Chain A
Amino acid sequence: MTDQLKHKLGVVGTTPIRPDGLEKVTGRAVFADDIHLPRMLHGKVLRSPHAHAKIESIDTRKATALPGVYAVITAADFPEPATAIESLGEGGMVDIKDLADNCIAKKKVFYDGHAVAAVAADNPHIAEHAAGLISVDYEVLEPVMDVKSAMADTAPAIHENFTPGSFFAPTEKAGPNAGRVEFWDGDIDKGFSDAAVIVENEFTTQAVHQGYIESHVTTVMWDSDDRITVWTSSQGHFGIRDQLAGILDIPLSNINIIPLEVGGAFGGKDSVYLDPLAAMLSKKSGRPVKMAMSRNEVLRATGPSSGTHMKVRMGADDKGMLLAADISFAYEAGAFPGGPVAAGILTATTRYNIPNYRLEGFDVILNKPRIKPYRAPGATQSHFAVETVMDELAEKLGMDPIEIRLKNAMKTGDRLVLGFPCPAIGGIELLKAVKNHPHYRAPLDGEKQGRGLAYGFWYGGGGVSSAELSVNADGTVQVCTGSCDLSGTRMTLGMQTAEALGIDVSDVLVKTGDTQSIGYTLPAWGSRTTFATGIACITVAEKVIAKMIERAAAIWAVDIENVSFDSGVFSNGSDPDHSFTFRELAVKNEATGGAISAQATVSPQGVGFQLAAYLVDVEVDTRTGKVTVLRSTLFQDVGKAVHPDYVSGQMQGGVVQGLGWALNEEYVYADDGTLANTTFLDYRMPTALDLPMTETVILETPNPGHPYGVRGAGEASILNPPAAVANAIYDAVGIRMKSLPMSPRAVLEKLLEYGAADL
């Protein structure tokens, strides 16, 4: 047992019922669309029907004249933003000019659904009608719809100028529409020349959406003194504030973002879309303005994760030791630079020790919506490619797929791609858990059944979080943090606070503060909230304990050194009869010097990396190409499961998203660059009927960077399903699927190509 866990945990590791649960099962929880303000207007957006066009002119007169319309806006109503670059955290650095241009098009529209104008009216129907009365003259341009054509030297430049950028790493311009980033080490030529086996393959994937069930909704009130209040659905309200301030050229302190229940985000809700438009409509009309996207708008204009074209070449010696990897990935950035390709290449092979490698990434601008993070952004695509190649290497070497991974698995202290030693990590234990699990050896019954494995790595995030803790006169406490709760984090933060104070979790109330009420906190991305905001909560708890030790010392008339605190009990070292529980001492606070509270803003850096392995059995229907998932088991190392039921729920949810990515989900564009599947009927996410239960196996290799050993737990679950399903399909019917999704049509085409279809 490590030092950090010598204290026996009493709250962390249990499964209390979530504090927001009752409101959610009774319909009383307040989401962004549930906000109704007096005199509120409703806004609607006019969106481009073209994927790529110059805006020649916009005539809003008819819309403005319609009864019931109070304001009409275009990009001309907005100030020229400074070229300031804002950090979006996991979303990378963003150029505020690009962001403003994405919210409402200036001179060109860059994708089907790009906002061009907006209207505020008495109700959404009038607003929608009025938006339709706005007439826009376009000069339609040829759309650039895939990475290969966008990267051609002869491709039309989508932007006259752009600042190349991506998550994690600086990029340099490469051709008319792309940025390039590269990492390398060793001598890959020598690595490949020493290799006994080499596998080389190309893979493609299509854009997929995060698919949150709650669309983007915001209500904004711009007061006469230029103070702006925003009720919006976001996973990071400080980020929303910073972006809004940049676009509107308003001081940060003038803006208050009110956090609400968030109806799913998964990375897609850290950016402004409607908020600046609602703000400007509110300014013009003098009334609060609510705007909500339809599902069609959500799919056309927000979200997706990158479609990709990925090339992988890997070589190993005859014992299966990896010697070299040469990787070149092109990821869609969408209409503006800043996609997740650096995260994609940095996680492509990290989890294995490879002495010689080159990792090249292209961040490619094209006429699709601006790419947003989606749960382990960029890594699901890269794992699909690399874990398939690992399977091919194992096959060529005649090795068990677990053995080749065990042989090459990165261990604590091994050198990471970025050059520093890998912090405590339990890859070997995780892979052994797979090997020893009954699923791994269970017989398959049926000749068209197969089993597939994939192994995955994700960094996760730390960074700035704030918390404030107040001790109430009755011994209960309340904690305010700056983290939006996407997944039950008010519970996991309350549990960590209760653990640190040695009190019952039911005595801790946790809420998310608005941006004017709590210190700066990065968005809920990178599985960082339970880790980093958890440390903020533990820090304020420790500060409160220190103050209460002073009070106990005063009551007992001893030096503070004589007072100790353990598991919720203050003890007097000079007198064994003297002790207080937290509550007994807390009720005396008012009489012993006044109420106690503490605040902390922390920036923990000891992020614990996330590892997961996924095992899946499938059956392939060789008449239709349909792939049915028969058995599904996810193994994940979460450091310490603060609330094991929530962790397991995160794991199952991520697996099902990954299986949707593997089997069904894709953006389908018509030849003119318009999105063809703009409903949930056609953008086909998994339903309850599609999949079996996913068994979850939680491993706990403590993260030394957190007092209770916590790693992030939210993202690694999505990494492996596409690759594992592809490997299972190969095991079942001998075809290698190299593109996503592996829909019945795609699988049937491949079966026909191999002569393996059963027609």
Chain B
Amino acid sequence: MSKKHHVTATINGDEIEFLCEPRQSLLEVLRDVLFLTGTKEGCNDGNCGACNVTVDGVLVNACCMLAVEVNGKALETIEGMARNGALHPLQASFLEETGLQCGICTPGFLISSRALLEQHPTPSEEQIRHWLAGNLCRCTGYDRIINAVLKAARKMAKGNDRDRSA
């Protein structure tokens, strides 16, 4: 058996240390070592996006990254998306627009959508569809997810306007 590696990383702002085998994916360590089970497994081969997290701000499929690779890096998972008891505008919009049914793909869509809005704060429907093409949902047919992202973008743009004028 391989010797375990010691890894230090920041997850949702908290410094975390863990031991893992070199063969363990980031997804497996998040879920089965750190019990951060909000990040979901849908395919384990990079095709569904259910395990989306960000590593140093870059959107990744956690199933396609080894846990040892995140040493010294900053991760954001679904567990860190609501801050101080307040939902992120995307989370609120997914609820309001019924942007989810079974919910298994939802964390991945939320993390992916947040990464989109960080790069494109006012995306078009086409841009959203293109960006989210790496996230599979089998329940909704996507329409309500797209609407939820559009709504969150509008909310956040208004919030930013207020911030600027303040």
- What residue of chain A has the Cβ atom nearest to residue B108's Cβ? A213
Contact, CB under 8 Å: A688 / B129: yes
B contact residues around A310 at 8 Å (CB): none
Whether A21 and B139, one on each chain, are in contact in the complex, defined by CB atoms closer than 8 angstroms, is: no
- Does the CB pair A646–B41 fall under 8 Å? no
Given the contacts A24-B100, A261-B103, A264-B102, A214 and B40 also touching, CB distance less than 8 Å: yes
CB-CB nearest in chain A for B50: A213
> Beta-carbon contacts of A413-439 to B below 8 Å, as 1s and 0s?
000000000000000000000000000
Return the contact of B77 from the options A27, A34, A685 (Cβ within 8 A): A27
**C-alpha spacing A694/B144, complex, angstroms:** 10
B136: which of A17, A213, A292, A653 is its contact (CB, 8 Å)? A213
The reply to whether the CB of A546 lies closer than 8 angstroms to some CB of chain B is no
Selected contact of B98 from candidates A22, A264, A646, CB within 8 Å: A646
Residues of A near B91 (CB, < 8 A) are 25-26
Which residues in window 62-98 of B have CB below 8 A to A?
77-79, 81-82, 87, 91, 94-96, 98
Interface flags, A20-40, vs B, CB<8A=1, else 0: 111111111111011010000
Q: How far is the CB of B47 from chain A (nearest CB, A)?
A: 4
Contacts of B9 in A (CB 8 A): none
| B102-A263 in contact (CB<8A) | yes
Question: Is A656 an interface position by the 8 A CB rule?
Answer: yes
Residue A212 contacts which of B37, B38, B77, B138 (CB distance < 8 angstroms)? Answer: B138
Task: List residues of chain A with CB within 8 A of the CB of B98.
Answer: 15, 18, 645-646, 649
Q: Verify if A107 is at the interface (C-beta below 8 Å from B).
A: no
With beta carbons under 8 angstroms apart, the residue of B77, B87, B101 that contacts A649 is: B101
Closest chain A residue to B148, Cβ basis: A25
Residue numbers in B under 8 Å from A680 (CB-CB)? 42-43, 45, 47-48, 136
Interface pair A656/B42, CB less than 8 Å apart: no
A652, B140: Cβ atoms under 8 Å? yes
Q: How far is the CA of A125 from the CA of B28 in the complex (A)?
A: 11
Distance (Å) between the CB of B111 and the closest chain A CB?
10
Task: Select one of A17, A211, A294, A690 contacting B138, CB under 8 A.
Answer: A211
* A26 surroundings in chain B (CB, below 8 A): 38, 78-79, 81-82, 87, 91
Is A689 located at the chain interface by the 8 A CB criterion?
A: yes
A688: contacting residue among B87, B94, B95, B145, CB under 8 A: B145
Contacts of B129 in A (CB 8 A): 688-689
Chain A residues near B41: list those with CB within 8 A: 33, 215, 292
Contact partners of B45 in chain A: CB under 8 A: 295, 679-681
User: Do A688 and B135 contact each other (CB < 8 Å), given the known contacts A26-B79, A693-B143?
Assistant: yes
Task: Check A691–B100 contact: CB distance below 8 A.
Answer: no
* Of A649, A679, A688, A690, the contact of B146 (CB 8 Å cutoff): A688
Q: Which residue of B lies closest to A658 (CB)?
A: B141
Q: Does A487 interact with chain B (Cβ within 8 Å)?
A: yes
Listed residue (B21, B104, B134) with the most chain A CB atoms within 10 angstroms of its CB: B104
Does A655 have its Cβ within 8 Å of any Cβ on chain B?
yes
8 Å CB interface, A678-702 against B: 679-681, 685-691, 693-694
Contacting pair A27 B78 (CB below 8 A): yes
Query: A11 CA to B129 CA in the complex, in Å?
Result: 34
Q: In whole angstroms, what is the CA distance A266 to B138 when docked?
A: 9
Bound state CA distance, A688 and B123, in angstroms?
A: 14
- Total interface residues on B, CB under 8 Å, equals 56
Q: Is the CB–CB distance between B37 and A34 below 8 Å?
A: yes
B124 to chain A, nearest CB (A): 13
Question: Please, which residue of chain A has its CB at the minimum distance from the CB of B90?
Answer: A25
In this complex, the member of B37, B44, B91, B102 whose beta carbon has the largest number of chain A beta carbons within 10 angstroms is: B102
Given known pairs A649-B139, A687-B133, A691-B141, the reply for A21 and B101 (CB within 8 Å) is no
Query: Of A210, A295, A488, which one neighbours B42 at CB under 8 angstroms?
Result: A295
- B136–A685 CB distance below 8 A: yes
B106 at the binding interface (Cβ < 8 Å): yes
Which residues of chain B are within 8 angstroms of A22 by Cβ–Cβ distance?
Answer: 87, 95
B110 contact set on A, CB distance < 8 A: 25
Q: A652-B140, A687-B133 are in contact. Are A25 and B42 (CB under 8 A)?
A: no
Q: Is B153 in contact with chain A by the CB < 8 A criterion?
A: no
Best-buried of A125, A264, A688 by chain B (most CB within 10 Å): A688
Q: How many residues of A contact B (CB 8 A)?
A: 59
Q: Is A657 an interface residue (CB 8 A)?
A: yes
> Distance (Å) between the CB of B79 and the closest chain A CB?
5
Cβ-closest chain A residue relative to B35? A36
Interface residues of B in 18-43 (CB under 8 A from A): 21, 23, 31-32, 35-43
B148: shortest Cβ distance to chain A, in Å?
10
Q: In A613-656, which residues have CB < 8 Å from any B CB? A: 645-646, 649-650, 652-656
A653 and B42 contacting across the interface, CB-CB below 8 Å? no
- Residue on A with the closest CB to B37? A34
Residue A346, interface by CB 8 Å: no
Contact mask for chain A residues 194-215; partner B; CB cutoff 8 A; 1 contact, 0 none: 0000000000000000111111
B77 / chain A contacts, CB cutoff of 8 Å: 27
Q: A646-B98, A681-B47 are in contact. Are A655 and B141 (CB under 8 A)?
A: yes
CA distance A649 to B143 in the complex (A): 8
Quick one: closest A residue to B149, CB to CB? A688
B128 within 8 A of A: yes
A488, B35: Cβ atoms under 8 Å?
Answer: no
- Chain A nearest CB, measured from B150 CB (Å): 11
Known: A29-B103, A214-B104. A21 touches B48 (CB 8 A): no
Bound: A295/B48 CA distance, A: 10
Q: Tell me, rounded to whole Å, the shortest Cβ–Cβ distance linking A267 to chain B.
A: 12
In Å, the complex CA distance between A393 and B40 comes to 49
Residues from chain B with a CB closer than 8 A to the CB of A685 are: 136, 138
A263–B145 Cα distance when bound, in Å, is 16
- CB contacts (< 8 Å) of A668 on chain B: these are none
* Contact across chains for B139 and A487 when beta carbons are under 8 A apart: yes
B11: CB under 8 A from chain A?
A: no
Bound complex: CA A486 to CA B82 (Å): 25
The answer for the CA separation of A294 and B41 in the assembled complex, in Å, is 9
- A17 in contact with B102 (CB, 8 Å): no
| Cα–Cα distance between A680 and B50 once the two chains are bound (Å) | 12
Supplied contacts A18-B95, A656-B142, A680-B45, 15 more A-B pairs, CB within 8 Å: A21-B103, A26-B79, A31-B104, A213-B136, A261-B104, A262-B102, A295-B47, A486-B101, A488-B101, A646-B101, A679-B47, A688-B128, A688-B137, A688-B146, A693-B146
A-B contact pairs, 21 of them (CB 8 A): A15-B98, A18-B95, A21-B95, A29-B103, A33-B41, A34-B31, A36-B32, A36-B35, A213-B42, A213-B136, A214-B42, A214-B104, A294-B44, A486-B101, A487-B139, A649-B98, A652-B142, A656-B140, A657-B141, A679-B47, A694-B143
User: Top 10 A-B pairs ranked by shortest CB distance?
Assistant: A27-B38, A263-B104, A24-B103, A656-B141, A27-B78, A652-B141, A680-B47, A689-B133, A34-B37, A25-B91
